[in-house]
Chains A and B, each alone.
Chain A
């Protein structure tokens, strides 16, 4: 009796394990969400930052072309890159360009298409100070490296004459979750500070020398609002929508510029002259008097070879529409639109998809 039971259990276990393994193997290519009959479904995944504008675009585009449906999952840039390398989505999206190593892992060539731009702004909470503060790159790097620790440090006070800065600690707040926002911020710090570049470097998360971490823009904003003396960074859109105070930053031409849609577009225009053909470019610390220095593109990732001809046509058509009509929609959602030079260059590059 006992023997029989154990044999049954082993047999059952084996069957279950086999079932389980099958399920596990199949799971990455899980069935996509059901589309209305006849509609062509195009799947994409990636960055969360451009999700509001992408979902608006895909919605508008679906109204114009009811036979086409884009399904976009905002799982994060890392996930978008991995899925486009694995070929489990038709397109990906990312806030930081793919590295050469990542491009090498993909079976086909992956093309980058800038879609919109965003910016990251320093936000702060200093009791008794309501004015707009000025920051230099050196001051920001010094604060985030933990070298400038007081608000009335000459490195800050000399930039803000006439503002009575208190003798209190600066409490640095950064993102705790990996994010494109962090990438843009530390990419900028790496460009303006050799010490930051060698000690910390750039990635979607880094080993922060100082500070406390908040989850998401809302986490950083919450900590900054509550913590007297705090300095953090958030996306420009988030700061605008929530009426948060944010400072001007000195750009590479020596002008203090406040982040705004125009100054972000100006940064991209400044960088357009030296734009590489694959669009993998960082536009932080861009040249130009009116350019806001902590700006960045966000990209769509499209394989250059799409086997299904209807899908290929749909994606190519969408890219053209996005560069022409789609750009007209972006400012309503507080994204900065692409400068003319970049639109022209991208329009030519679309022909590489075949």
Chain B
């Protein structure tokens, strides 16, 4: 009775071994291993990064606990650290950047993929990809020497004059400000939005356009009501990629944002971002609590990014389901 299952098992094993060798010969198993290795390495790096950040901010985690997220003081002398002004600065400057960059980027992508003659489209795309490769310190220098003076002498007085009744545009004008940070970030992330959105729009099947045109739609109607909704998920992905870039951007932001950890409703007031304060203070951080508070800020930035990405996923899921139901 007991013999039969064993032989069956053995036969199954040898069959499996033979199949394994066969697959090996075809390269399937090798490719599987190599790609798995590549994928696993990303997870391992991420896990190690979070682990190292977590264990290396032991002191402030115990001293401040959750208060760290709500604290508004950043005082290296007395050792009192709170992350709220930095979280605020990071989120608001990135949101401002998106507000400016999304209409511009998506508009440009629609023009390049749908309306522009192919040759012009190719030239422009090349220029846009060049923009994406410029180091951020260059954006910062341009920001401090050209953008900030223009903001201070032209844009901000104009905003104060026309929209000054809003709390957003009140207070003294320094030039370096939350607004300057948002504008520089917007310029930096626009190339990502254009580049990815254009690819996505180009990937929309021609039949979609032809069908719309056959039903009597104008060129714009077919673009706006058929092609863009079809590519919506991809366009959103481009926006989230740009947002991730904006949240972590350091050099260009710190050069124009004013570096003052205070929470102010006015976009004219200086602010501070998480990445900027880490870059600014890490090298000269004496004392363990101070250093570890900066490391904890790194962890906070990581959490903020995860939260935002999670929200982004939810938005994509919600909108695609809605799209499917309508279709």
Which residue of A is nearest B269, CB measured? A212
**A203 CB contact (under 8 Å) in B76, B152, B279:** B76
B109 at the interface (CB under 8 A from A): no
**B259 CB contact (under 8 Å) in A5, A81, A201, A214:** A214
Q: Please determine whether B284 and A180 come into contact, CB atoms closer than 8 angstroms.
A: yes
Whole-angstrom distance between the Cβ of B251 and the nearest chain A Cβ: 9
Interface residues of B in 100-155 (CB under 8 A from A): 144-145, 148-149, 152
CA distance A289 to B52 in the complex (A): 53
Q: Please determine whether B285 and A178 come into contact, CB atoms closer than 8 angstroms.
A: yes
B58 at the interface (CB under 8 A from A): no
Interface residues of A in 59-115 (CB under 8 A from B): 75-79, 81-82, 96, 99, 102
Q: Please determine whether B40 and A178 come into contact, CB atoms closer than 8 angstroms.
A: no
Contacts of B215 in A (CB 8 A): none
B255 at the interface (CB under 8 A from A): yes
Q: Please determine whether A204 and B174 come into contact, CB atoms closer than 8 angstroms.
A: no
Whole-angstrom distance between the Cβ of B286 and the nearest chain A Cβ: 5
Q: Please determine whether A205 and B284 come into contact, CB atoms closer than 8 angstroms.
A: yes
Contacts of B144 in A (CB 8 A): 219, 222, 226
Q: Please determine whether B285 and A78 come into contact, CB atoms closer than 8 angstroms.
A: yes
Q: Please determine whether A178 and B175 come into contact, CB atoms closer than 8 angstroms.
A: no
A8 at the interface (CB under 8 A from B): yes
**B76 CB contact (under 8 Å) in A12, A24, A179, A206:** A206
Q: A13-B44, A215-B254 are in contact. Are A222 and B76 (CB under 8 A)?
A: no
Q: A17-B48, A205-B76 are in contact. Are A223 and B176 (CB under 8 A)?
A: yes
CA distance A99 to B283 in the complex (A): 17
A238 at the interface (CB under 8 A from B): no
Whole-angstrom distance between the Cβ of B270 and the nearest chain A Cβ: 5
Which residue of B is nearest A94, CB measured? B286
A213 at the interface (CB under 8 A from B): yes
Q: Please determine whether B36 and A12 come into contact, CB atoms closer than 8 angstroms.
A: yes
Q: A176-B259, A206-B77, A219-B255 are in contact. Are A76 and B148 (CB under 8 A)?
A: no
Contacts of A20 in B (CB 8 A): 44-45, 48
Q: Please determine whether B260 and A78 come into contact, CB atoms closer than 8 angstroms.
A: no
Dominant secondary structure at the A interface: mixed
Contacts of B286 in A (CB 8 A): 77-78, 81, 96, 99, 102, 203-204
Which residue of B is nearest A208, CB measured? B260
A342 at the interface (CB under 8 A from B): no
Total B residues in contact with A, Cβ cutoff 8 Å: 44
Q: Please determine whether B44 and A206 come into contact, CB atoms closer than 8 angstroms.
A: no
Interface residues of A in 160-178 (CB under 8 A from B): 169, 171, 176-178
**A204 CB contact (under 8 Å) in B74, B172, B175, B285:** B285
**A202 CB contact (under 8 Å) in B32, B77, B258:** B77
**A226 CB contact (under 8 Å) in B36, B148, B279, B281:** B148
**B77 CB contact (under 8 Å) in A16, A21, A82, A203:** A203
CA distance A214 to B270 in the complex (A): 11
Q: Bits for B66-94, please: 1 = Cβ < 8 Å to A, else 0.
A: 00000001111110000000000000000
A9 at the interface (CB under 8 A from B): yes
Which residue of B is nearest A204, CB measured? B284
Q: A12-B37, A20-B48, A176-B254 are in contact. Are A76 and B176 (CB under 8 A)?
A: no
Q: A204-B76, A226-B175 are in contact. Are A215 and B281 (CB under 8 A)?
A: no
Q: Please determine whether B77 and A207 come into contact, CB atoms closer than 8 angstroms.
A: yes
Q: Range of interface residues on chain A?
A: 35 or more
Contacts of B40 in A (CB 8 A): 9, 12-13, 16
CA distance A180 to B76 in the complex (A): 14
Q: Please determine whether B36 and A215 come into contact, CB atoms closer than 8 angstroms.
A: no
Which residue of B is nearest A79, CB measured? B283
**B260 CB contact (under 8 Å) in A81, A204, A211:** A211
Whole-angstrom distance between the Cβ of B144 and the nearest chain A Cβ: 6
Interface residues of B in 260-291 (CB under 8 A from A): 260, 270, 272, 276, 279-286, 291
**A169 CB contact (under 8 Å) in B172, B254, B260, B279:** B172
CA distance A96 to B145 in the complex (A): 32
Contacts of A204 in B (CB 8 A): 76, 281, 284-286
Q: Please determine whether B280 and A207 come into contact, CB atoms closer than 8 angstroms.
A: no
Q: Please determine whether B44 and A16 come into contact, CB atoms closer than 8 angstroms.
A: yes
Q: Please determine whether A24 and B48 come into contact, CB atoms closer than 8 angstroms.
A: yes
B214 at the interface (CB under 8 A from A): no
CA distance A213 to B262 in the complex (A): 12
- Which of A's residues lie within 8 Å of B, judged by CB? 5, 8-9, 12-13, 16-17, 20-21, 24, 48, 75-79, 81-82, 96, 99, 102, 169, 171, 176-180, 200-208, 211-215, 219, 222-223, 226-227
19 contacts between A and B (CB under 8 A): A16-B44, A20-B44, A75-B283, A176-B276, A178-B281, A178-B285, A179-B284, A180-B284, A200-B77, A201-B77, A203-B77, A207-B77, A207-B78, A212-B174, A212-B258, A212-B260, A213-B270, A213-B280, A222-B145
Nearest 7 interchain pairs by C-beta: A178-B284, A76-B283, A213-B259, A176-B259, A201-B77, A207-B75, A204-B284
Other than the given A9-B36, A205-B284, 13 more pairs (CB < 8 A) read A17-B47, A20-B44, A176-B254, A176-B259, A178-B76, A178-B285, A207-B78, A213-B260, A215-B259, A219-B144, A222-B145, A227-B152, A227-B175
